[in-house]
């Protein structure tokens, strides 16, 4: 929860309108469905039990919604 508060403070400080912070979710599939319903690009997530690190890291995952992928598919 402390990391979440720090991330929220950074988003507010730098005014990043394209990034929204959600409450922690235990059901990632439900979160992805909610993102799809709101026509968002996708969800970026990280395991709670992994530390924050600088540089490249495999702990973060970005999953795009199928609606976004379909709308942006090259024809």
pLDDT tens digit string along 38-60? 888 888 888 778 887 777 888 88
CA-to-CA dists, residue 34 to 3, 20, 37, 38, 72, angstroms: 23, 13, 5, 6, 19
5-22 pLDDT tens trace: 888 888 888 887 777 777
Predicted confidence band of residue 75 (pLDDT cuts 50, 70, 90): low
Which has more confidence, 20 or 35?
35
pTM across the whole model: 0.61
Burial class (CB within 10 angstroms; exposed 0-12, middle 13-18, buried 19+) of 50: exposed
């Amino acid at each position: 929860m402390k990391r979440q508060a720090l991330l929220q403070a950074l988003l507010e400080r730098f005014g990043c309108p394209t990034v929204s912070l959600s409450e922690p979710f235990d059901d990632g599939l439900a979160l992805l469905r909610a993102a799809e319903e709101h026509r968002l690009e996708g969800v970026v997530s990280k395991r709670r039990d992994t530390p924050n690190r600088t540089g490249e890291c495999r702990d973060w995952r970005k999953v795009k919604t199928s609606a976004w992928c379909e709308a942006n598919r090259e024809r």
